C-alpha cells in the first residue's frame, strides 16, 4: 500500500480536494476557463494552500472496491527575500487511511518535497497495512481451488531522495525501506513451496535509483519519456532477517503523431534476487489483472495506450492493451502462460493550466473485468 499512499499525496492531493471544496468558492467563474468557458479548476489549484480533506476511490481488483480518506497540508513555495508565494509544485504533508470490500485497511502519513527549484525530490512515508490477498500456486491460469487467501500485516517506513544532475533531465538518488511483516496463511500445508520463515520477517534495505524524465507535463504526460532503473538490496547488517534484492526497469514513451492522436508505450521488467519472501516477488502489473495474481522471480511486460482527442475538445478516448509473462524461477527461465489485458476509457482535461486529466478505464484481463478511476495518468509512479 506504499504506492497508494504516495499516489494520494501527489495526484489525489491535487485533484480530489476540489470535490470537497467547490461549495466554498466565492465566485462560480473560478470553475470556468476563460478561453472556452468549460468546467476547469486551474484557478482553484493555483491558490491551493492550507489543510484540505479528500476522499478517493480504491479500485484494485486484488483487494476489492473501497475508499481512501485523507487530510493534506499544502506548503507553497515562497521567495526568500519577499516571502511572496511563487509558482511551482507545493510540498505536501498528509495523513491517510483506507478500507476495501475484502476487509483490507491501511493508515499512514507522508511528505512529498520538491526542493531547490525541483533539483531535489523527496518522499517519506510511514504506515501500517492489514491486507487480505490471494496466493496462486503458479503463473498459468489455474482452477480456483489452487489458490488460497492470506493476510499480511506490516509496519513500513520509506525514505527517498532523488537529485537532478545539473540542469539536465537525469536524476540519481537512493531509498531506504523498512518493513516488519506478519503473515497469516491458514492453508499453508497446501503450498509447500512457501517458506514458513516468511510469516514473521523484518526487511530492511537500501535502493539505488537512476532516472531520466523529460515529460512536458508531469501530471498527464502526452510527450516525452521516463526511464527508470533501480536496485534494492535488503541487508542483514541493516537489520534485515535475510539478504535479498530486486531489480526494477521501467520505461514509458509518449510519441504524439499530431494534436489528435498520442500513442504511448510502456515496457517493464522486475527481477528478484536472493531468497525473497513470497509476497515480495515481482508480479504482472496490468490493468485488469489483480495484484500478485501472476508472480515469479522475473516478470516482463509491454503495454500500449492510444489516446484520441475528440474534435479539439477537452475529451479524449483511450484504448489500451498489454501482455506479460512471469518466469517462476531464474534457474530454468520457463515462462508461464502469457497474461493479457485490454480495455478502454475516457479522459477529461480538468485543469488546463496544469495539463491535468481525469477519467475512467474499463479493463478485461484473463479472468475478469475491472474498473479504474484514473487521476493524472494510469502509469503514474
Q: What is the largest CA-CA distance in the chain?
A: 67
Domains of the chain (ranges plus CATH)? 2-375 (2.40.160.50)
DSSP reduced 3-state for 79: coil
> What is the full per-residue pLDDT of the chain (381 aa) written as tens digits?
555 445 545 554 444 444 444 444 444 456 777 788 888 877 766 666 667 788 888 988 999 999 999 998 878 777 665 555 556 677 889 999 999 999 999 999 999 999 998 999 999 999 999 999 999 875 444 445 478 899 999 999 999 999 999 999 999 999 999 999 999 998 877 788 899 999 999 999 999 999 999 998 888 999 999 999 999 999 999 999 999 999 999 999 999 999 999 999 999 999 999 999 999 999 999 999 999 999 999 999 999 999 999 988 999 999 999 999 999 888 877 777 799 999 999 999 988 887 889 999 999 999 899 999 898 899 987
Q: What Å distances lie between residue 337 and 62, 138, 342, CA to CA?
A: 20, 10, 16
Q: How many other C-beta atoms lie within 10 A of the C-beta of residue 239?
A: 13
> Residue 145: CB partners within 8 Å, gap ≥ 6?
none
Report the C-alpha gap between 29 and 41 in whole angstroms.
Answer: 10
Amino acid at each position: 500500500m506504499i504506492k497508494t499512499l504516495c499516489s494520494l499525496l501527489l495526484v489525489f492531493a491535487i485533484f480530489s480536494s476540489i470535490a470537497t471544496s467547490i461549495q466554498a468558492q466565492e465566485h462560480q467563474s473560478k470553475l470556468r476557463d476563460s478561453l472556452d468557458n468549460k468546467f476547469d479548476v486551474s484557478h482553484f489549484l493555483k491558490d491551493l494552500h492550507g489543510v484540505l480533506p479528500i476522499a478517493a476511490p480504491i479500485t484494485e481488483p486484488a483487494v476489492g472496491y473501497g475508499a481512501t480518506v485523507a487530510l493534506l497540508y499544502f506548503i507553497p513555495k515562497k521567495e526568500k527575500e519577499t516571502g511572496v508565494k511563487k509558482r511551482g509544485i507545493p510540498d505536501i504533508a498528509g495523513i491517510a487511511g483506507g478500507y476495501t470490500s475484502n476487509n483490507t485497511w491501511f493508515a499512514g502519513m507522508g511528505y512529498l518535497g520538491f526542493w531547490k527549484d525541483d533539483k531535489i525530490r523527496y518522499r517519506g512515508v510511514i504506515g501500517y497495512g492489514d491486507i487480505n490477498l490471494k496466493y496462486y500456486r503458479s503463473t498459468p491460469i489455474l482452477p480456483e481451488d489452487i489458490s488460497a487467501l492470506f493476510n499480511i500485516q506490516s509496519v513500513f517506513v520509506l525514505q527517498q531522495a532523488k537529485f537532478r544532475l545539473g540542469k539536465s533531465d537525469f536524476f540519481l538518488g537512493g531509498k531506504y525501506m523498512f518493513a516488519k511483516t506478519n503473515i497469516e496463511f491458514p492453508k499453508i500445508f497446501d503450498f509447500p513451496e512457501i517458506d514458513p520463515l516468511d510469516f514473521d520477517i523484518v526487511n530492511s534495505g537500501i535502493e539505488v535509483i537512476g532516472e531520466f524524465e523529460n515529460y512536458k507535463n508531469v501530471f498527464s504526460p502526452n510527450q516525452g519519456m521516463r526511464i527508470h532503473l533501480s536496485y534494492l538490496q535488503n541487508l542483514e547488517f541493516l537489520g534485515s532477517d535475510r539478504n535479498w534484492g530486486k531489480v526494477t526497469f521501467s520505461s514509458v514513451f509518449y510519441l504524439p503523431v499530431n494534436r489528435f492522436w498520442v500513442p504511448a508505450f510502456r515496457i517493464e521488467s522486475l527481477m528478484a534476487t536472493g531468497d525473497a519472501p513470497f509476497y515480495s516477488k515481482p508480479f504482472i502489473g496490468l490493468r485488469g489483472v489483480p495484484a500478485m495474481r501472476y508472480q515469479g522471480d522475473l516478470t516482463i511486460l509491454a503495454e500500449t495506450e492510444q489516446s484520441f482527442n475528440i474534435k479539439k475538445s477537452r475529451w479524449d478516448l483511450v484504448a489500451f492493451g498489454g501482455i506479460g509473462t512471469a518466469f517462476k524461477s531464474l534457474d530454468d527461465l520457463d515462462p508461464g502462460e502469457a497474461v493479457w489485458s485490454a480495455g478502454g476509457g475516457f479522459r477529461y482535461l480538468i485543469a488546463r493550466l496544469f495539463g491535468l486529466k481525469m477519467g475512467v478505464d474499463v479493463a478485461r484481463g484473463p479472468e475478469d473485468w475491472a474498473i479504474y478511476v484514473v487521476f493524472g495518468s494510469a502509469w503514474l509512479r
